[in-house]
Structure 1
């Protein structure tokens, strides 16, 4: 487990999981939002975004969290572990609200860019699970050749998985 792609809905807990695994494994984490957005908050050109991902995945050890379906094959082609964080959409919406209250919008210290609008809330609450996730699964089936996909369906399950993983690997966790 040296090249990890973490996927999931907005507010699902991808960044928290990525940061925890980074601590346990001593592997650097890259948040796709850090690659997608320039320092001034503007979106970088797609070609630049793709090239930045290719640079990261060329490394021997990395954790990348994020959702970009168009460039997912880049990550899946080099990943040896894929984790799908898939709690109920209401949990994701609550996660977005909690994040907004904690950081007050903008770019967060953990890399997330907070751009909440009606379209994003509709995506998180409905479209992700019904239209986006099936496409993610198809992309995984086509491009990922690693171990079985780890599918975590709740934050509690994610916490327990990291705790068990940490215990078996003899390193500090939370």
Structure 2
């Protein structure tokens, strides 16, 4: 979602353009979209065959994000658009605050989504980084 949300220089893409880009991705045969732009969760869930909920506790998530910021400071990450090197500043502190502030509401949105789509979707809930790593390895190996 970072490639959809951000443009070069950490400029936020206009909302209508983000919505158009999400719909373009959803129109393809195979896709993975994560987080962000919760206004499109229902559309994404309706078109998905699998819903994966990363439900790790907030403190380890924050620790991982802070560690990534320090490790990759000044470098381009492959999950970020070109022209958006990892930085540390007020925008990053605001991101950490957003993770903390939205931890309950984000989780509730996902729980509601899982309840509503459980009948006809594969639902995977991963509660730890170990479970997340095992799932990624399983998907990569085609199991």
1:75 and 2:50 matched: no
Question: Could you say if the C-alpha distance between residues 105 and 67 of structure 1 is closer, same or farther in structure 2, counting changes exceeding 3 Å?
Answer: farther
How far off its partner does 1:82 sit? 0.8
1:136 and 2:95 matched: no
TM-score, structure 2 as length reference = 0.78
Helix, strand or coil: the match of 1:70? Answer: helix
Q: Where does residue 92 of structure 2 map in the other structure?
A: 116
* Aligned-CA RMSD value: 2.5
Q: Which one of 95, 98, 104 corresponds to residue 73 of structure 2?
A: 104
Deviations 1:17-71 (A, max 9, x none): xxxxxxxxxxxxxxx1101111232111111100000000000111122222112
TM-score, structure 1 as length reference = 0.66
Q: Which range is displaced more, 63-72 or 90-99? A: 63-72
**More strand by proportion, 1 or 2?**
1
Instruction: Provide the rounded CA distance (Å) in 2 between the counterparts of 1:160 and 1:139.
Output: 23
How far off its partner does 1:98 sit? 1.3
Alignment of 1:18-57 (within 5 A): 32-57=1-26
Helix, strand or coil: the match of 2:12? Answer: coil
5+ residue gaps, structure 1:
1-31, 170-174
How far off its partner does 1:84 sit? 0.8
5+ residue gaps, structure 2:
none
Question: Could you say if the C-alpha distance between residues 39 and 145 of structure 1 is closer, same or farther in structure 2, counting changes exceeding 3 Å?
Answer: farther
Alignment: residue pair count:
136
